[in-house]
Structure 1
């Protein structure tokens, strides 16, 4: 086996195949790239194999399994993150199966490594009361406060992922007629989400504040930092945490200890579910590829379970057939008997 084969196929995978033929989002490509950066660092620092010396003859199922164990035990990666790294490795070796069939046996051995089952974690979401309290926190007398209110309102109203909101351009907002926002999610799939009237009024004020009612601004990010650069996920998280801390001091019982921007997405889905919206519509609203993913919300919502059980019980348990007089006579008889 040529010692340069690994580097050659890895370069071709990232520079040609993954960017031109897969349709992966930028975030997915970045995650896959990071996986191989970490893997090469592991080979260099732990196995003492320099990147330029790494070849397929030195790679084995055992080596990859030890790498995954190192991620968990030494780097303290969660099982979920460990599985994400494994998925990136699997994607490369599936590509290699087609491009270099001579390595089929190696590919099959690595593809046979299974993901670990992740522990079921309780899904956090905020009540409608908590959402209202949080949205009342920003100081709307300042431009910065109005901007922050728009970010928080759109996160909830659109159910957007944090990166989806960060990627929104001015031209993705439709203000005239039925207001909508265009979101680009995983796999570069776009979806159009309606925006409620109260939210679009806040958005209009923000656009006016920052002079975005301009055709030249259509292709610029809707949200930006002080340096005029696109607001990042970390920036949005910082803004949320700032207001969560303030709201928690006022109403500590309304907010869990750990809150991330994704909690708005969970909360919106739960509130739609509690409002009786069909799971199929919630799936499309959130941009899930399968309703199976959306079903997690139904399984995590005790109120939905309670209503379903009550409805089922009502249909099964026979109705009482005693009249009022018959009930009184029965009770009197029981008292005398006892």
Structure 2
């Protein structure tokens, strides 16, 4: 493989910027997502060094070609004992980085395009067992409704139950994303990859949300304010 001093510096710089600036700036990405990206890239670098003999000083575009990525996935399964689901998650993380890299270095965009053509590992679908009605009622009875924090937590739990959205998606909600007075009340969720979807709300969830908004945001909520806040109009962390 050719010497790639200049490319290694460029790629290393973009890895640093991707992990330390780009991902943390995306509100839809939780700390767990960041750790997943970090771990996937660390595993890829480990594979390149230990199995391909390519040090970080010799990183180049060829290191991220389709053939090497497929070898990496095989290495994850055979030597590290990763499940197909884990391999797919690692591949997804690497694709996100390559997409970012291509957006910054247009000449490297083809790496992302090649990576999207790699087939995912076949996963064994697991049957998901939901919570019983009794268990849900027990969970919703935990918040202390005599306190402001308890009433906020109940509203938060109800909307999570009603929409089945991720916790980070709910915490990043802004009041302008709520359509509570529509014929079919709904909430606009911005998920991973900035994908937008509309989720309809149960009547009970609408009642609790309206009550919560009046108490925490007043009669005229700021459209740009986060729905779920702490004591002040401050973004609520997980």
Structure possessing the higher radius of gyration over alpha carbons: 1
- Residue 157 of structure 2 aligns to a residue whose secondary structure is helix
The aligned runs of 1:1-338 (5 Å cut-off) are 1-3=2-4, 4-5=6-7, 7-8=9-10, 27=29, 35-40=40-45, 43=48, 49-56=54-61, 61=67, 65-66=71-72, 69-70=75-76, 73-74=79-80, 77-89=82-94, 92=98, 99=107, 114-176=119-181, 178=183, 179-215=185-221, 217-225=222-230, 229-232=234-237, 235=238
Q: CA deviation at 1:201?
A: 2.2
Structure 2 runs not aligned, ≥5 long? 19-25
Relative to the length of structure 2, the TM-score reads 0.65
- Residue 182 of structure 1 aligns to a residue whose secondary structure is strand
Q: CA deviation at 1:153?
A: 0.6
Asked if the contact 1:25/1:186 (under 8 Å) is kept, the reply is: no
Asked if the contact 1:168/1:183 (under 8 Å) is kept, the reply is: yes
Distance 2:173 2:117 in 1: 39
Structure 1 runs not aligned, ≥5 long? 17-23, 236-338
Distance 2:78 2:180 in 1: 48
Aligned residues: 219
Q: CA deviation at 1:131?
A: 2.5
Q: CA deviation at 1:181?
A: 2.0
Relative to the length of structure 1, the TM-score reads 0.49
Q: CA RMSD of the aligned region, Å? A: 4.5
Name the residue aligned to 1:255: none
Distance 1:66 1:188 in 2: 28
Q: CA deviation at 1:180?
A: 2.9
Distance 1:163 1:44 in 2: 35
Asked if the contact 2:28/2:190 (under 8 Å) is kept, the reply is: no
Distance 1:206 1:100 in 2: 48
Q: 1:193 to 1:122 in 2, by over 3 A?
A: closer
Distance 2:77 2:234 in 1: 33
